[in-house]
Each structure stands twice: as structure tokens, then as C-alpha cells.
Amino acid sequence: MRDKLTPRNIILCLCVCSLPLLIYGIDGIEKFLSSYRIGFGWPGGDYVIRILVRACLYMLLAVGLNIVCGFTGLLDLGYVAFYLIGGYTAGILMQRLGVPYWFALPIAMAHGTIWGLLRGIPTLRLTGDYFAIVTFGFAELFFRIIRNEQWLTGIPNGQLRGIPAPSIFGITFDQNWHNYYHILILLILVVFLNYRLQNSRVGRAWVAIREDEQAAESMGINVGRYKSLAFAVSAAIGAIGGAFIAQFQVNISAPFFEFWESILILCMVVLGGMGSIRGAMLGAAILGSLGEILREVLTRFTDFPELAGSRYLIFGIILILLMRFRPGGLIYKKT
Amino acid sequence: MWAQILEQLINGLVLGGIYALIAVGYTMVYGIIQLINFAHGEIYMFGAYIALMLITVGTPFWIALPLSMLLCAILGMFIDFIAYKPLRNAPRLSALITAIGISLALQNLARMIWSARPRQFPSEVLPSFFLSEVTDTGKVINAVPLPGGGILPFRDVFIFLLAVVLMIVLNMLIYLTKIGKAMRACAQNQVASNLMGIKTNQVIAATFAIGSALGAVAGIMVGLSEVVTPTMGYYKGVAAFAAAVLGGIGSISGAIIGGIVIGIAEVFGADIHSGYRIAFAYIIMILVILIRPSGIFGKATSKRA
């Protein structure tokens, strides 16, 4: 990791850690001012923190997808499958079997990893379009299974309600700011792991596979093994995201994990620049919060609040323009 | 039992005809520029909406159909011109992501313009033979009675016949005309055909136009028998893509056969478990890619990178 403990980075770190304090501070100011009838239309601290949590969650997912899409250069259109597996594994374990979150999370991770590896068996030799299509098909199948197989999940229609919040020593982590620190810690761990992987033998092997699979193989890289490793790590990260959203949302249902969610995460990775961890995080921070910000701005300042519902239109246009004018993404990494 | 199977088989054939029309659009574009045109499903959806709008304002059905085909052909060429043409020499992944972007944008544009509410073609302005019913006295109107009490509406007969006619016209276009010859040349070797004086970009534009026009017809057909929604392109589009893969992507006769197989599989699959209606198409598609990536009719190529 090139980043050092410079003063700038320490200040940045402190800012990120104290964000909830700041946001609830504004809450207090708003409350004080509105008692004099001069409120400035602050949408409320809990709401803002929820947006932050979502943005962080998407950062985590984008970093996970970036391993397959960015490092090994395979277009994964079914990443949402692992998100779904993580979510339902953790959700069902916690809600129906009463397993504590701290056990459900690693089990969900392991479950996601297994499916990442299983999906890897048939797709290892596929490249390009066909890999994209098969991953898409797998995700759709998982989506249908969750919707239809009640004997397997024990829940009708994939609607899981009342997932308990994690607790430790009698303290329940159900506040929004709890969730913020929760996802922040997960994100930091995942990003740290990613940087370590990127700068290791493994990361270099992945990039070599992306650049030229045959050349990589002839240089002695076991392509199959490194690709499987990429699938497994990526799937595990997706499952962490799923386990988190299960306890964060309390109720989850199948539409959370639709195909367009995959595309949204892909947009984030592409926007930031495929293969760049920072890029994926930047893209996720922008797109993950853009929808809510747009809704807030549009309902407040224009007469067309329904425009916010079609934010995917804007995402689509972003994808087209990026590929046309800046295919390397916002953070362009010269190689 | 047998009557029921016959009825489902006919339903599958009708659905298969629709799939074949969409699949041809995927396969033609893939054959020439090796791009999975994700936006094709959305063009098909636009075809249905355009026809619906035209009919709602009072255009007769027989004018709305060709007009919608024409407008979709223009839309297809426009998409190629603004989005794909600048990326001809870019990595394949860029074009694929652009295609996803267009699909996303068009689908949500439709949602903005027409709202997500499912719509139906107004039955009073459609040609009268589309309205089939069984009267209380057991008389069958505008439909062919089937053994076992089922009926085959004239509407479905019309859909299937139109699909067959269009496929014959398409095959004549490709094998008998000059532009068809140019298309086949481009599919074989684009650089060489360019050197031989074929204007490749025009041929590609024509391919998009033809595929989109056929997609528009399929959209109208689905609109006639089901409903029109902004997401219809996504569901039927993927199933049609599965048909194209099954037949061997790049092969037109493969797309037709694939479409019919997928259509029948879907209808019978829905009988087994309605929740997996579409999933049967996905399963077939995945199996084909894994076991025989070149499809039934495709040429065995080394690797599609």
C-alpha cells in the first residue's frame, strides 16, 4: 500500500469516523432553528446516515465485483447472486434459527464462497460475452429459486421479515449510526484485504490473466486456480454485503436482488475505472447516493419528483458516455 | 390429455414464432459485429409502445404495424450511429457495457413516457377477427375449435403466419439481394469486404434496421396476446437471446429453430412450474453454452473472446 499515515490521511480518517456526530449535530441545529421557524429543510439525520450506510455498502460490493471485473477482466453480470445468497443465508439463520449475527456472517460468507467456486467450475473456460451471459443466467436462477422454493427457504415468496439486529453483551446494534460504524469496519477490512491482494503475487497474476490469458499461462500462472480464487474472494465479499443488508433492512424480499442491482454495481465499477480499488469506491460513493440525492433535490426544487424514479435512465446514459469518451473510468490508471 | 398437449404445442409454436423474430435481430447483429445487442429487447418494447400509441390516436392497425416497424428501424440505426459506431475498434467489453447502458436508458425512458402500468391494445380498434370468443351456446367465433374443447384464436394463427412470412422474406433478402450478399460478406470477413468496396458501416446500419423492424413486429404480437410494459423487453429479450444461442449465434435458420424450441420449452415448462416460466429458457441457454457453445447450427469456432 502506497498510502502512508500522512496528516492528510489522518484528518480524512477522523472526518469519516466522526460523520455521524456531525450529522446529528446538524440535526440539533435544525431543531434549534426550527423552534424559531427558520429551519433550512434538513431531511433529518437518520435519513442522511441511511444514505451514507447504503453508499458504504455499495462501496463494499463494488470493491468485491472489481476483483472479477477489474482485476481478471471478466464481465460478471450476476454478482447480485452472491449478495442474495449472503442476505438470505444470514437472514434465515438469524430470523428462523436464532443464530447470532456474528456466526451468521461468517457462515453466509462461506456459503457465498462455495457458490462462487461452484459457479467457477463451468465458467472457467468461458471468456467475454459467454461468461457474461452464463453469470447472468445463474443470478436469474438463484432469484427464481428464492422466489419459488418455499421448502428450501421456509419463507413464502422470498419475503423474510423481522430479521433481528445483531447484539453483543446485551447491547443491540439497531441504531442507524451503529450500522454506519458496522459497515465502515467491514469496508475497511475488505478494502485493506483488497490492497494487500492487489500488490501480491495473486493480484499480479489476476492482472496478467486479464491482459493475456495465454501469455499468463505460458509464464507458469495456473489460470484456473487464480480465476477460481478471484471468484471465491469476490463472492465472499458479495455475501458479506448481503449479510449486512439483511440485518440493516430488517425485512428483505426478492426484488432487492434483481438483475438491475448487478448492473448498478457494474456501473459503479465502470464509472470509477475497472481495476482500480479507489475508482470502484468513488463510483459507488457517487452512484450509491446519487439516487437519494436526486430524489431529495427534485422533490424540493422542481415540479417533477417522478423524475427521480427513473434515475436508472441517468445511469444508462452515464455508462454510454463513459464508454464513448473515457473508457478508463474517472480514475484512469495507466498500465 | 393429448388434446391438452396439442393445445400447448400450438401455444408454444406461436410463442416460438415471436421468439424467432426477436432472436433473428440478436443473431444478425452478432454475426456481423460480434456484439450482444442488449438494447434489442428494448427496441422490441418500443415497437409495441409505438404501435399502441398510434392505434390509440386512431391509426388503423394495418398502417400502425408498418409505421412502427419503420420507426423502430430508424431507432435501431440511430442507436448504432450514436453508440456502437464510435466503438467499432474499441475492446469488446466497452461495446457490451454500452449496450447494457442503452438498454437501461431506453427501458427507463419508456417508464418515464408511458409509466410502468401494463397496457393493452384497445380491442375496439383492432381488426375484428382478433376478437375470438366462445358464446354461451358453444359457438366459436373467430377461432378454430380444437379437439378437447380448446380453441385456437385467429389472432394466434395470424401471429404465426406473419412470423413465417417475415422469415421467408428475410431469407430471400439475405440470399437473393445485393445487400444480403453484402451482409453475408461482412459476417465472413469485415476487412476483406471493406477492401472489396462494400461500405461496411452502411451494411451494419441496414442489419440494425432489419433486426429492429422484425423486433417491432414481435413487440406488437406480444402486445396483442399479452400486455405492454416497460420491462417486457428484458424478459422476452433474454429468452430470445437464449434462442439465438441455442440455434448457434450468427446463424439465421438457427435462430428460427431455436426460437421455436425455446417457445415450446417455455410453454411446457410453465405447466410444470409457473414460477420458472422464463427460467427454462435460461437453463437451456446455460447448458448450450457449456456443452456446445457453437449451438445447433453454428460453425465451430475456436474461442469467442
Domains annotated on chain B, with CATH: 2-291 (1.10.3470)
Total number of domains constituting chain A: 2
Give the mean model confidence (pLDDT) for residues A193-202.
Answer: 91
User: Are both A202 and A240 inside the same structural domain?
Assistant: yes
User: Are both A35 and A183 inside the same structural domain?
Assistant: no
Does the pLDDT value for residue A231 go beyond 70? yes
- Three-state secondary structure along A3-41? CCCCHHHHHHHHHHHCHHHHHHHHHHHHHHHHCCCCCCC
B45 contacts B235 by C-beta, under 8 angstroms: no
Count of residues in chain B: 305
User: Are both A60 and A82 inside the same structural domain?
Assistant: yes
The most confident of the ranges B46-55, B57-66, B251-260 is B46-55
Confidence category of residue B305, pLDDT binned at 50, 70, 90: very low
- Report chain A residues whose CB lies below 8 A from the CB of B104: 260, 263, 312-313, 315-316, 319
- Report chain B residues whose CB lies below 8 A from the CB of A311: 108
Is B98–A147 a contact, with Cβ atoms under 8 angstroms apart? no
Domain boundary among A223, A243, A267: A267
The strand pairing partners of B141, in sequence order, are B133
pLDDT for the residue numbered B304: 41
User: Are both A150 and A168 inside the same structural domain?
Assistant: yes
pLDDT for the residue numbered A25: 79
Give the mean model confidence (pLDDT) for residues B13-21.
Answer: 91
Q: A251: domain range?
A: 50-267
Comparing A52-56, A321-325, B141-145, B221-225, which segment has the lowest mean pLDDT? B141-145
More confident residue, B7 or A328: B7
pLDDT for the residue numbered A104: 92
Does the pLDDT value for residue A121 go beyond 80? yes
Strands, DSSP E only, in chain A? 167-168, 171-172
- How close A308 comes to chain B (CA, Å)? 10
- How close B76 comes to chain A (CA, Å)? 15
User: Are both A104 and A71 inside the same structural domain?
Assistant: yes
The most confident of the ranges A34-38, A323-327, B84-88, B138-142 is B84-88
Of B36, B101, B234, the CB nearest to A129: B36
User: Are both A242 and A94 inside the same structural domain?
Assistant: yes
**pLDDT digits 0-9 by tens, B162-173:** 999 999 999 999
pLDDT for the residue numbered B44: 92
Report the residue of B289, B292, B301 to disrupt the A interface, i.e. the one with the largest count of A CBs within 10 Å: B289
- How close A30 comes to chain B (CA, Å)? 35
pLDDT for the residue numbered A240: 94
Got the DSSP string for B38-65? TTHHHHHHHHHHHHHHHHHTT--HHHHH
Give the mean model confidence (pLDDT) for residues B271-299.
Answer: 78
- How close B274 comes to chain A (CA, Å)? 9
Give the mean model confidence (pLDDT) for residues A20-44.
Answer: 75
pLDDT for the residue numbered B46: 94
User: Are both A135 and A261 inside the same structural domain?
Assistant: yes
Per-residue cell: A192: 485493506
Report the residue of B93, B236, B283 to disrupt the A interface, i.e. the one with the largest count of A CBs within 10 Å: B93
As a whole number, the mean pLDDT across chain B is 86
Give the mean model confidence (pLDDT) for residues A318-331.
Answer: 82
Does the pLDDT value for residue A215 go beyond 80? yes
Is B101–A323 a contact, with Cβ atoms under 8 angstroms apart? yes
With residue B189 as reference, give the H or E element that holds it: none
| Cα separation, B7 vs B270, whole angstroms | 14
A211 contacts A221 by C-beta, under 8 angstroms: no
Does the pLDDT value for residue A309 go beyond 70? no
Q: Per the domain annotation, does A261 fall within a domain?
A: yes
User: Are both A134 and A257 inside the same structural domain?
Assistant: yes
- How close B154 comes to chain A (CA, Å)? 34
Q: How far is CA B96 from the centre of its chain?
A: 19
Give the mean model confidence (pLDDT) for residues A157-181.
Answer: 81
Domain boundary among A246, A267, A288: A267
Confidence category of residue A315, pLDDT binned at 50, 70, 90: confident
Is A319–B94 a contact, with Cβ atoms under 8 angstroms apart? no
The contact set of B with A (CB < 8 A) is 34, 36, 83, 86-87, 90-98, 100-109, 111-112, 234, 238, 241, 245, 273, 275-276, 278-279, 282-283, 285-286, 289-290, 293, 303-305
Domain boundary among A267, A285, A300: A267
Got the DSSP string for A158-212? G-B--PPPPEETTEE--SHHHHHHHHHHHHHHHHHHHHHHHTSHHHHHHHHHHH-
Is A318–B245 a contact, with Cβ atoms under 8 angstroms apart? no
User: Are both A24 and A147 inside the same structural domain?
Assistant: no
Give the mean model confidence (pLDDT) for residues A225-246.
Answer: 93
User: Are both A128 and A14 inside the same structural domain?
Assistant: no
As a whole number, the mean pLDDT across chain A is 84
pLDDT for the residue numbered B165: 93
Is B94–A128 a contact, with Cβ atoms under 8 angstroms apart? no
**pLDDT digits 0-9 by tens, B175-209:** 999 999 999 999 888 889 989 999 999 999 999 99
Does the pLDDT value for residue A1 go beyond 50? no
The contact set of A with B (CB < 8 A) is 73, 75, 77, 122, 126-130, 132-134, 136-138, 140-141, 144, 147-148, 259-260, 263, 266, 270, 306-307, 309-313, 315-320, 323-324, 327
Q: Per the domain annotation, does A309 fall within a domain?
A: no
| Cα separation, B25 vs B21, whole angstroms | 7
Comparing A242-246, B21-25, B59-63, B151-155, which segment has the lowest mean pLDDT? B151-155
Q: Which chain A residue shows the shortest CA-CA distance from B284? A: A137
